[in-house]
Amino acid sequence: MSLADTGDDSVENYMNIFKIILCTLLLASLMSCAGTDTKQSTGQYVDDSAITAKVKAAIFDEDSLKSRQINVETFKGVVQLSGFVDSPRNSSKAEQIARDVDGVKSVINNIVVK
Query: Which one-letter amino acid corresponds to residue 34?
Result: A
- Residue-wise pLDDT for 58-89, tens only, equals 999 998 886 678 999 999 999 999 999 999 99
User: How many folded domains does the chain comprise?
Assistant: 2
Q: Are residues 22 and 54 in the same domain?
A: no
- Is residue 104 scored above 90 in pLDDT? yes
Residue 59 lies in a domain: yes
Cα separation, 49 vs 59, whole angstroms: 15
The domain of 11 spans 1-32
Residue 60 lies in a domain: yes
Residue 37 lies in a domain: no
Better pLDDT: 52 or 26: 52
Q: Are residues 46 and 20 in the same domain?
A: no
Q: Are residues 102 and 47 in the same domain?
A: yes
